[in-house]
């Protein structure tokens, strides 16, 4: 048989991690990597964080899963804590980002249905967006590489240009439910929404009775220096999809909503067998225990500033390779003048530095949020070493 047992949908590299220690990953032969990919913005506390590990171990021994047919003291506690620290009034727990996005889409459609406007079923989304791999989530992006061959896709999405407020507003019609947008696009290439763009979308929502739905699966949970990225825009969303860093590596996602936006999500409208299980809740609590401690976000901001300015200082030394730095907090992108995938492979294979490629030839730099100055220095040293000997391919 030529088909591998593990369905070959990922172009997996040679790194085969078996252990993690803080900001480092260790391979089968003991090779060490500085992990500035963090499971694609997931391992926000690094690997093997004692508080998170202990919380999971204790909860696994106490109670791992019960049905949502029963009361959930664990779910209520974490939901209340998220509500107390965000715009939201209510939370639905999922097991992944795509499921959180699905719940966000359903909540938005159901809001207009509950208001007697079922024709308002179309979300305006944006080019280069990434919302996950379910049929709903791939329908919400116009990136062909994710959609080809999976038709028929879900109707009810229209596509505008990211950061083009006029273009987005021009699509508003009687069928519009709202906007679905990443405040900082991750997979698309660390593209940061402008203040006027997000604020303009909010204003349009208020004027037309639409919902502002944010996908903060990647940019949320401390990544940009605040618990949610939209806090830095002075914009209040109606619905937010969260996941990735939310439980530090344990599978968990969440759909957050205001009371008004969630008005249609009544008994029987949504569900999940695993969603909000006690083990996931324990991991989510442990992440908030650490993240809400004094100084956590200050560290994200300080390390983000430090990393960014170090990258900016490095660029002129290699201006044949690098174009610019973009991003917020510890969600940074280094734009290359050639193929970013090949450079990511070079850093990984020859310099022990893990990064993630993204759209627009951007290298994503997404370290654990608990890094210190020494890790920033080590990353810059590895990146400079890598850049010094790197020869882009002629046809890149
Ligand atoms: C990763 C990601 C998703 C999908 O999350 P999964 O857990 O892989 O389903 C959705 N939206 C954004 C912005 C993401 O970065």
pLDDT per position in the chain (396 positions), as tens? 789 999 999 999 999 999 999 999 999 999 999 999 999 999 999 999 999 999 999 999 999 999 999 999 999 999 999 999 999 999 999 999 999 999 999 999 999 999 999 999 999 999 999 999 999 999 999 999 999 999 999 999 999 999 999 999 999 999 999 999 999 999 999 999 999 999 999 999 999 999 999 999 999 999 999 999 999 999 999 999 999 999 999 999 999 999 999 999 999 999 999 999 999 999 999 999 999 999 999 999 999 999 999 999 999 999 999 999 999 999 999 999 999 999 999 999 999 999 999 999 999 999 999 999 999 999 999 999 999 999 998 655
Distances from the Cα of 355 to the Cαs of 22, 197, 217, in angstroms?
A: 16, 29, 18
Q: Specify the ligand 1 atom closest to the Cα of 187.
A: 15
Q: How many CB atoms lie within 10 A of CB 57?
A: 11
Determine, yes or no, domain membership for 394.
no
Q: Is 172 found in the same domain as 99?
A: yes
Cβ–Cβ < 8 Å for 358, 127: no
Cβ–Cβ < 8 Å for 92, 103: yes
Q: Is 184 found in the same domain as 116?
A: yes
Task: For residue 395, indicate whether it is catalytic.
Answer: no
Q: Is 97 found in the same domain as 228?
A: yes
Cβ–Cβ < 8 Å for 34, 386: no
Annotated binding-site residue? 216: yes
**Ligand 1 centre from 247 Cα, in Å?**
14
Q: Is 26 found in the same domain as 70?
A: no
Gyration radius from the chain CA atoms: 21
Annotated binding-site residue? 133: yes
Q: How many CB atoms lie within 10 A of CB 260?
A: 12
> Coil, strand or helix: which one is 26?
strand
Structure-derived torsion over alpha carbons of residues 112, 253, 257, 229, reported in degrees to the nearest 10: -120
Residue 21 belongs to a domain with what CATH number?
3.90.1150.10
Number of domains in the chain: 2
**Closest of 332, 334, 330 to residue 315, by C-alpha:** 334
- Identify the pLDDT of residue 396: 53
Q: Whose CA is nearest to atom 6 of ligand 1?
A: 97
- Which of these three, 291, 313, 329, is where a domain ends? 291
Q: Exactly one of 126, 215, 297, 343 is catalytic; which is it? A: 215
Q: Is 302 found in the same domain as 187?
A: no
- Which of these three, 252, 272, 291, is where a domain ends? 291
Q: Is 106 found in the same domain as 37?
A: no
Element (H, E) at 353: strand 353-354
Determine, yes or no, domain membership for 57.
no
β-strand pairing of 331-336 with 353-354: unpaired
**Ligand 1 centre from 101 Cα, in Å?**
8
pTM of structure: 0.98
- Which of these three, 263, 291, 319, is where a domain ends? 291
Q: How many CB atoms lie within 10 A of CB 144?
A: 7
Q: Is 281 found in the same domain as 154?
A: yes
Q: Specify the ligand 1 atom closest to the Cα of 101.
A: 10
Determine, yes or no, domain membership for 8.
no
- Identify the pLDDT of residue 393: 83
- Identify the pLDDT of residue 394: 64
> Coil, strand or helix: which one is 109?
helix
* Domain extent for 325: 17-49+295-389
What's the CA gap between 367 and 300, in Å, rounded?
Answer: 10
What's the CA gap between 10 and 8, in Å, rounded?
Answer: 6
Residue 97 belongs to a domain with what CATH number?
3.40.640.10
Give yes or no for residue 181 CB within 6 A of ligand 1: no
- Identify the pLDDT of residue 278: 98
**Ligand 1 centre from 152 Cα, in Å?**
21
Cβ–Cβ < 8 Å for 77, 235: no
């Amino acid at each position: 048989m030529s088909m591998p047992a593990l369905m070959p949908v990922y172009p997996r590299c040679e790194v085969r991690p078996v252990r993690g220690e803080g900001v480092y990953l260790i391979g089968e032969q003991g090779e060490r990597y500085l992990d500035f990919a963090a499971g694609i913005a997931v391992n926000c506390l690094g690997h093997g964080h004692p508080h998170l590990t202990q919380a999971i171990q204790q909860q696994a021994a106490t109670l791992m899963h019960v049905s949502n047919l029963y009361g959930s003291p664990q779910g209520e506690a974490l939901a209340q804590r998220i509500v107390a620290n965000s715009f939201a009034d209510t939370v639905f727990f999922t097991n992944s980002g795509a499921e959180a996005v699905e719940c966000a889409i359903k909540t938005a459609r159901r809001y207009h249905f509950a208001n007697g406007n079922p024709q308002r079923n179309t979300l305006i989304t944006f080019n280069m967006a990434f919302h996950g791999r379910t049929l709903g989530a791939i329908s919400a992006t116009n990136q062909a590489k994710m959609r080809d061959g999976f038709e028929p896709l879900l109707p009810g999405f229209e596509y505008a240009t990211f950061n083009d407020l006029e273009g987005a507003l021009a699509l508003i019609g009687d069928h519009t439910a709202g906007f679905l947008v990443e405040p900082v696009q991750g997979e698309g290439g660390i593209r940061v929404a402008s203040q006027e763009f997000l604020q303009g979308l909010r204003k349009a929502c208020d004027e037309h009775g639409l919902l502002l739905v944010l996908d903060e699966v990647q940019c949320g949970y401390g990544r940009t220096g605040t618990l949610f990225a939209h806090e830095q825009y002075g914009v209040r969303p109606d619905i937010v999809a969260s996941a990735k860093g939310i439980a530090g590596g344990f599978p968990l996602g969440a759909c957050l909503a205001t009371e008004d936006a969630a008005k249609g999500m009544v008994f029987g409208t949504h569900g999940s067998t695993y969603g909000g299980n006690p083990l996931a809740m324990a991991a989510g609590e442990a992440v908030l225990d650490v993240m809400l401690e004094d100084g956590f976000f200050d560290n994200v901001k300080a390390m983000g500033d430090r990393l960014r300015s170090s990258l900016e200082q490095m660029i002129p030394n290699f201006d044949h390779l690098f174009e610019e730095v973009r991003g917020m907090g510890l969600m940074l992108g280094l734009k290359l003048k050639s193929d970013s995938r090949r450079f990511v492979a070079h850093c990984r294979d020859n310099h022990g530095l893990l990064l993630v490629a993204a759209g627009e030839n951007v290298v994503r730099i997404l370290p654990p949020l608990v890094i210190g100055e020494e890790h920033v220095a080590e990353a810059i040293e590895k990146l400079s070493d890598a850049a010094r000997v790197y020869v882009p391919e002629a046809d890149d």
